[in-house]
Structure 1
Amino acid sequence: MSALLQSKTLLPETIANLLGLSGTLGAIIGGLIGAFVIANLLLVQTAVAGPWAKRKITAAFTDRIAVNRIGPFGLLVIVADAVRLLSKELVIPEGVDRPAWDLGPLVIPFSALLGFAVIPMGSGIQLADPETGIVFAFAAGSIASVGLIMMGYSSNNKFSLLGGLRAIASNIAYEIPLVITGASVILFTGTLQTSAIVAQQSEPLISIAGVTIPQWFAFVNPFAFVLFVIANLAEVGRNPFDIPEAPTEIVAGYQTEYSSVYFVLIYLGEFIHIFLGGAIAATLFLGGPAGPVLPGFIWFTIKIWLFYFFTQWVRSAIPRLRVDQFLDVGWKGMLVLSFANLALTAIIVGVIA
């Protein structure tokens, strides 16, 4: 069993022990410092993914060069974009519902960061490990839909309202298949605890010519993995499911009336949600941080970045669905297939047991 699985010490406990603290005070301080460290690691990766990597990947697909003149490989465009956006005036339209309009952009990044609290990222790199961990991750990620709805109805703009309504449609049509497909993994593991789900995937599945293939649920049930990835694309709002934004149809949907720091928060939350989607997929189907030779945290980072690269590839390669097609795929396709997968998985587990 890997070092991650042998280590039951969570990151806050490790920090508290290093500081010589114990009891409630140690748990609080260790938790705050651990959350601060994890959040900043994710924010740094998001800063690279948004202003720089997104442009580079899209340019590669469209035979362009993208950013290359500001710093080495254009990396300082991250700083330039931050200064440019944060220095812009925050324009507040007339007639907005200020409490909801102000809180909406904060809800999106907060919900995504909250979901990472229960994700095992490496040996001892996990903030919390409750028995209902994977349910908490799904629930935290879904809070973002509340933020989208708040921004949509509070902006006093019909295009923003349409974006908020589409966000509701997206949430209902695709989050149900996402959770049901995730539940098929729970049938195999018999637990909702994320560390236990990762632990069961460390067992060998089959050995071929001396090479041992681990019991990752992407290998055990590839159909469920494909369904989960597709539903996850809709959950994070990437093509062909970026209906709530739809720039060519509704300007920018729920974010039409936002600028300056609020615009930054919205896009920050969008990219953190992509990484959260990759983290949940890695935890349920790809062995979490498990991998040969390299430390677990490195493997975890590689897996969530591979999911990010996949979302950008799909964004460049597949056109957006119409809203009616979008709902048809969700209700008539994904929902039916996810229940079929759940039923088939239950039968297989019942026979094996």
Structure 2
Amino acid sequence: MGTAPAQLFPEFIVDTLGLDSVIGEVAASLVAAFVVGNIILAFTGVAGPWAKRKITAAFTDRIAVDRIGPYGLLIIPAAAVQLLAKELIIPEGVDRPSWDIAPILLPASALLGFSVIPMGQLGPINLQLADPEVGFALVFAFASIASVSLVMAGYASNNKYSLLGGLRAVAQNLAYEIPLIVTAMSVVIFAGTLQMSGIVGAQTETLVAIAGVSIPSWYAFVNPFAFVLFLTANMAEIGRNPFDIPEAPTEIVAGYQTEYSSAYFVLFYLGEFVHIFLGGAILAVTFLGGASGPGPESIGFIWFVVKIWGFFLFTQWARAALPRVRIDQLIEIGWKGMLVLSFANLVLTAVIVGVIA
């Protein structure tokens, strides 16, 4: 499958509507961002209230929601109304405006990450907002803002459980973000670029053909060890089992979000799922060929959606099947295991690429 056309989504809107002025280009960029943002929010709207419950129920031999609408789908608007209708309780002693900003910052950081993700083509439209030369670094920078949100929420809540959750979030992100980025750099060495479209384009060639079946040169096939490392660190970054230490309901109530209710809790809940899909998007671009797949290039977006929903399914399997590790085990795995293995993978990748080149 060939690479996506160079024309980005905002440029497509500018050319289609003939918007030549600076104001027109800004308007086209805002419209494109609005469309992409709502696509991601629609995914999270389905994933949070409905898909999460149905998938977990399937893993644990239960039925889950099935009474509200066909297949229980009307639980999505029902849950939204229920949560937003609740009273917003502001505890005494909270540190505002930090307490107010934290729930906004979490989903915003993940949505910013999607600004440089190449989501493939949908007909004549290339669903990517921007493709800077340092896009790969930008997406990790945007995603890392989430840890600031968790620390702010934990500190500002004036609650010992929230504070513990914030401190755990810092410890977890420090322990796993370094291995995550170091492992990702091994992909950059292979691709020779930090540009997201370039990384996807480098995975479009055929790695090997067996019995007439072509296996693409996705980096998950080229370097499966790095893929497993990245997947593990990614699960820790998005805080899913066995690494849901910052909220750990059986230990610290709900951690950093203990004191949040109503719309503020909805924002935290939304941010959690947007980050899951962002983690899946980064994994897809980095190791799974982005939007590439069988069929014409014009349906690339469909393959991209399949891959990020596949990652979501994996996170829910982990949530249902894997027990939470202790905080000391989490730190030990990160610093003594993942960090060492990620640097070993980086050095080995550099040597192999250097010899081949």
Establish whether TM, by shorter chain, passes 0.5. yes
- Partner of residue 229, structure 1: 231
Q: Is the partner of 1:98 in helix, strand or coil? A: coil
- Partner of residue 150, structure 1: 152
Shift of 1:38: 0.3
* C-alpha separation in 1, matches of 2:148 and 2:56: 29
- Partner of residue 59, structure 1: 57
Instruction: Look up the equivalent residue of 2:138 and give its one-letter code.
Output: F
* C-alpha separation in 2, matches of 1:60 and 1:209: 36
Shift of 1:210: 1.6
- Partner of residue 163, structure 2: 161
The C-alpha deviation readout for 1:79-131, integer Å capped at 9, x for no partner, is 11000000000000000011000000000000000000001001211000000
Shift of 1:13: 0.6
Do residues 340 (structure 1) and 344 (structure 2) align? yes
- Partner of residue 256, structure 1: 258
Shift of 1:30: 1.1
- Partner of residue 271, structure 1: 273
Shift of 1:212: 1.3
Cα 1:254–1:6 shift into 2, 3 Å: closer
Do residues 319 (structure 1) and 317 (structure 2) align? no
Cα RMSD of the aligned pairs, angstroms, is: 0.8
- Partner of residue 238, structure 1: 240
Do residues 288 (structure 1) and 290 (structure 2) align? yes
Identical columns (%): 68
8 A contact 2:4–2:120 mirrored in 1: no
Shift of 1:27: 2.2
The C-alpha deviation readout for 1:312-351, integer Å capped at 9, x for no partner, is 0011101000000010000011001101100110111011
1:17 to 11, 15, 18: 15
Shift of 1:24: 2.1
* C-alpha separation in 2, matches of 1:6 and 1:278: 20
Shift of 1:224: 0.2
Moved over 6 A (4+): none
Shift of 1:207: 1.1
Shift of 1:17: 1.5
Shift of 1:175: 0.4
2:101 to 100, 103, 110: 103
* C-alpha separation in 2, matches of 1:141 and 1:24: 29
1:74 to 68, 72, 75: 72
1:112 to 110, 113, 116: 110
Instruction: Look up the equivalent residue of 2:97 and give its one-letter code.
Output: P
TM-score (norm 1): 0.98
1:27-42 → structure 2 map (5 Å cutoff): 27-42=25-40
Shift of 1:204: 1.1
* C-alpha separation in 2, matches of 1:158 and 1:203: 53
* C-alpha separation in 2, matches of 1:162 and 1:53: 30
Q: Is the partner of 2:97 in helix, strand or coil? A: helix
1:200 to 175, 199, 202: 202
* C-alpha separation in 1, matches of 2:24 and 2:215: 40
Q: Is the partner of 2:19 in helix, strand or coil? A: coil
**Where does structure 2 lack aligned partners over 5 or more consecutive residues?**
none
Shift of 1:62: 1.1
- Partner of residue 187, structure 1: 189
Do residues 49 (structure 1) and 51 (structure 2) align? no
Do residues 135 (structure 1) and 162 (structure 2) align? no
* C-alpha separation in 2, matches of 1:201 and 1:98: 47
1:204-215 → structure 2 map (5 Å cutoff): 204-215=206-217
* C-alpha separation in 2, matches of 1:33 and 1:16: 10
- Partner of residue 313, structure 2: 309
**Where does structure 1 lack aligned partners over 5 or more consecutive residues?**
none
Shift of 1:16: 1.4
Question: What is the total number of aligned residue pairs between the two structures?
Answer: 351
2:333 to 329, 332, 349: 329
The C-alpha deviation readout for 1:148-195, integer Å capped at 9, x for no partner, is 000000000000000000000011000000000000000101100000
Instruction: Look up the equivalent residue of 1:136 and give its one-letter code.
Output: L
Instruction: Look up the equivalent residue of 2:330 and give its one-letter code.
Output: F
